[in-house]
Amino acid sequence: MFDSNQMGQRPTAVDLFAGAGGFSLGAIRSGFEVKFAVENDKFAVQTYKRNIFNESGVSNPVVLDGSILEYDPTEVADFHFQDRSCDLVLGGPPCQGFSTHRILNAGVNDPRNELVLAYFDFVKALKPKVFLMENVPGILWDRHRPYLDKFYAEGARAGYDVRQPIVLDARDFGVPQRRKRVFVLGVRCDVNVPQEFSWPSRQTHCDPAKVIDSSEPWVSCSHVFDPTSENDTNNIHMNHGAELIQAFKNTPINGGSRKDSGRLLACHKGHDGHKDVYGRIDPSKPAPTMTTACINPSKGRFVHPTEHHGITVRQAARIQTFPDHFVFEGGLTAAGRQIGNAVPIELGRVLTSEIMKNLIVSDSRRLGVAGTDFEPAQRNEF
């Protein structure tokens, strides 16, 4: 079997639970070739096929349209890696419930445990040098310990050194958004790890009031609201009733809150409720976290800084550092869900670039493999 880096070929990646392709696009921009992805949301699959297939460095990747449980990992691995090996597996089992549901008594019948087992069935079949899992911070709560313990046990059983989970904030890596997510890195035990390899990756941006070393200030989200092209099909937002539009008009621009509008919801009488609901985004700072409901002002601080409506799909996508040529399929709600579930492109690029440099290329050079000098794509603005 040939190594994935022979003859100057790009290192390979696989994206499990791929969504619209945010993690895939970040990896492509750091020099990886995505061989295949797995996703069961039909609109996310349509989005992935429309966009990722058009990215440079991608040679006809395949999207396995369905649940990861429907596929035989060995058959899939043998088919897609007949004469090459897999370098990187991205993604992580879905995080539904990690913010609200208890799994203290979760056992072998918990569906998330089933997905963890399926995830590592793919890891064992593909034998990548590295895997990188992303999830929400709630996964670290004590109530979810059984899930994380299962993940680590399966990683060790598959032959990987699984690093401790780390919490990263996307704004510390050039993303115009406050977004904390957990990342877990697994390195195959036979891979040479250079002494200089640092995990987590060193942050590139920081609080403007505390700029240190060579870090740059956090990126504000002001550019997100620049005009888009006239034919942008994702330049759409929710339609609002007259009462809500009036409330937006009464809300101070550039960061004003619902409380400032004078509109009191019946469900909030007697308490402040969720203070960010119906609030305006402050363009002078990184935006709030884009959730799966990011196009709905009733679900968070998702009102345009100066205009009287919720943010558009394109603006939400820009906050997640998707390029403007990236088109989301399925309509407003489906697009919002895809955007909220995605790994920000720029964060994915930074993390996979570190993996490329220190764990993929470095290990290949140690083994004397030819064709290991790659020129990753530079950061692309929208």
- Gap between the Cα atoms of 202 and 14, Å rounded: 25
**Residue position matching structure tokens 């976290």:** 289
**Residue position matching structure tokens 């005009």:** 227
Sequence-separated (6 or more) residues with CB below 8 Å from residue 155: 120, 123, 131, 162, 186
Q: What is the pLDDT of residues 319-330, one digit of tens each?
A: 999 999 999 999
Name the nearest CA neighbour of 44 among 329, 252, 284, 298.
Answer: 329
- Higher-confidence residue: 5 or 133? 133
Least confident of 102-111, 160-169, 310-319: 102-111
Q: What is the pLDDT of residues 47-102, one digit of tens each?
A: 999 999 887 656 677 899 999 999 999 999 999 999 899 999 999 877 555 544 34
* H or E element, residue 181: strand 180-188
Taken in order 139, 200, 293, 302, is the CA torsion positive or negative? positive
Q: Is 294 among the residues known to form the active site?
A: no
Sequence-separated (6 or more) residues with CB below 8 Å from residue 75: none
Q: What is the pLDDT of residues 113-150, one digit of tens each?
A: 788 889 999 999 999 999 999 999 988 988 888 888 98
Task: Please say whether the beta carbons of 217 and 186 come within 8 A.
Answer: no
Pick the CATH number of 6-215+342-366 from 3.40.50.720, 2.60.40.10, 3.40.50.150, 3.40.50.800: 3.40.50.150
Query: One-letter amino acid identity for 340?
Result: G
The total of other beta-carbon atoms located within 10 Å of residue 293's CB is 16
Q: CB-based burial of residue 60 (10 Å sphere; 0-12 exposed, 13-18 middle, 19+ buried)?
A: exposed
pLDDT at 147: 84
Rg of the chain over all Cα atoms, to the nearest angstrom: 21
- Gap between the Cα atoms of 126 and 80, Å rounded: 10
Q: What is the pLDDT of residues 241-287, one digit of tens each?
A: 999 999 999 999 999 998 876 665 665 555 555 678 999 999 999 99
pLDDT at 361: 86
* H or E element, residue 339: helix 332-341
Task: Please say whether the beta carbons of 359 and 193 come within 8 A.
Answer: yes
Backbone angles phi, psi at 325, to 5 degrees: -80, -5
Name the nearest CA neighbour of 44 among 347, 345, 335, 344.
Answer: 335
> Active site residue: 86, 95, 221, 294, which one?
95
Percent helix, strand and coil across the chain, each to the nearest 5: 35, 15, 50
Least confident of 171-185, 191-205, 293-307: 191-205
- Gap between the Cα atoms of 132 and 111, Å rounded: 21
Strand-pairing partners, residue 310, are 303
Pairing outcome for strands 62-65 and 130-135: unpaired
In the chain, count H helices and then E strands. Answer: 11, 10
Name the nearest CA neighbour of 132 among 347, 380, 374.
Answer: 347
Q: Is the pLDDT of residue 40 over 50?
A: yes
Q: Is the pLDDT of residue 233 over 70?
A: yes
Side-chain-facing half-sphere of 75: CA atoms under 13 Å: 5
- Gap between the Cα atoms of 57 and 271, Å rounded: 53
